[in-house]
Amino acid sequence: MENIPVSTFKTHCLRILEEVHKQKKRIVVTKRGKPIVEVRSIEPAEEQKIPLKETVVFMGDIISPVAEDEWEVLK
């Protein structure tokens, strides 16, 4: 990972961001030698899909009203 001072990042921000995106690398921006933020490229939404198959459990009837016979009708 490359370290860059915040002043350099501020001056060349757009170029640095484009480089990070194209090369899929990470950089650490430092202030007075201490890391303050990490900049990295993100993956497109298509690659971030989380498989949801088998993560939902159906417990009983999911169509009928819930607790229909527990309600009291006032006239």
Angle at 59 between CA 54 and CA 61, to 5 degrees: 120
Give yes or no for residue 66 having a pLDDT over 90: no
pLDDT tens track for 4-51: 999 999 999 999 999 999 999 999 999 999 999 999 998 776 666 677
Give the pLDDT score at 63.
77
Q: For residue 47, what pLDDT is reported?
A: 60
Task: For residue 50, give Cα distances in angstroms to 46, 53, 55, 58, 69.
Answer: 10, 9, 11, 20, 38
Task: Give me the CATH code for the 1-42 domain, please.
Answer: 3.40.1620.10
**Hey, where are the domains in the chain?**
1-42
